Amino acid sequence: MGSLNALYGRGGFTFIALIVLSILALGVGLERLFATWQAKKRMNESLSRIHDYLKEKNRTMAQAVNETMPWHPAAKLFALVLADKTPTSTELRRMQNRILRSVRRRLWILASIGAIAPFVGLFGTVLGVMEAFHQIGLSGQGGFQVVSGGISEALVTTAAGIFVGIEAVVLFNYLQVYVGEYSATLKESTEEVIESVVQADAV
C-alpha cells in the first residue's frame, strides 16, 4: 500500500487514470477471451450432436438439439440452415456477419487504450516536470541534482503509460487472432451442417 501511495505521489491523478485504464483493458480482454472461448466450445459440442442426428436423417431431432443445447452465437445460424426452407447464400452471409460483429464487440476499447495510454503517461510527465521546475523556482535552489530528482519522479507516469499501452495492444492482437480463428471455424461448421443436411435429404 505504501509503494502505491508513493507512486501516486509521483504520478498524481494521471497515475490513477492509468490504473483505471489498465483494469479496464484487462477486464475487457479477459471477458472477450472467455466469451469467445465459450462460444467456440459450445458451437463444437452442438455441431457434433447435430451431425449425429443428421447422419440418421433425423432433421427434427437435429433442430431440437440445436435449440436445447447451451446457447452460443452460432445457434441462430444453425437454426437457419436446419430450417425446412433452404436459406440463400445472402441470408447465411448476413447472419455470419452479425455473429462476428457480436464476437468483436468491445474490442475497440482495447485498441483505444493501447493508443492513448502512452500519451496519458506523457501528459502526466509533462505536468510533473512543470511542477518540479515550479518548486525549484519557489525554493530558489538549482543544480542538476535538484532538477534530475523532480524529472525522474515525473517519468514514472510515462513508464506506467507505456506498460498499460503494451498490455492493451497485446490483448487486442491476441483477441484479433482468436476471433479470426473463430470466424474460420464458424464458416467451416456452417458448410459442414449444410453438407449434412443435403445428405440427409437425399433419397
Instruction: Give the integer Cα–Cα distance in Å for 174 and 168.
Output: 10
pLDDT at 3: 53
Give the model confidence (pLDDT) of 54-103 as tens digits: 888 888 888 898 888 888 888 888 888 888 788 888 888 899 999 999 89
Pick the range with the lowest mean pLDDT from 33-47, 122-136, 161-175, 185-199.
122-136
Q: Compute the Cα dihedral for 179, 185, 187, 189 and give only its sign.
A: negative
Whether residue 183 contacts residue 100, with contact meaning beta carbons closer than 8 Å, is answered with: yes
Q: Is the pLDDT of residue 115 over 90?
A: yes
If you ran DSSP here, which 8-state letter would residue 86 be given? P
Q: What is the pLDDT of residue 6?
A: 52
Task: Specify the pLDDT at position 10.
Answer: 54
Q: What's the rounded mean pLDDT across residues 164-176?
A: 95
Q: Find the DSSP H helices in the chain.
A: 2-11, 13-55, 59-68, 75-82, 89-103, 107-139, 144-154, 156-201
* Per-residue pLDDT band at 2 (split at 50, 70, 90): very low
CB 190 within 8 A of CB 51: no
Q: What is the pLDDT of residues 5-50, one digit of tens each?
A: 555 555 567 888 899 999 999 999 999 999 999 999 999 999 899 9
The CA-CA-CA angle for residues 127, 19, 179, to 5°, reads 125
Distance, CA of 106 to chain centre:
6
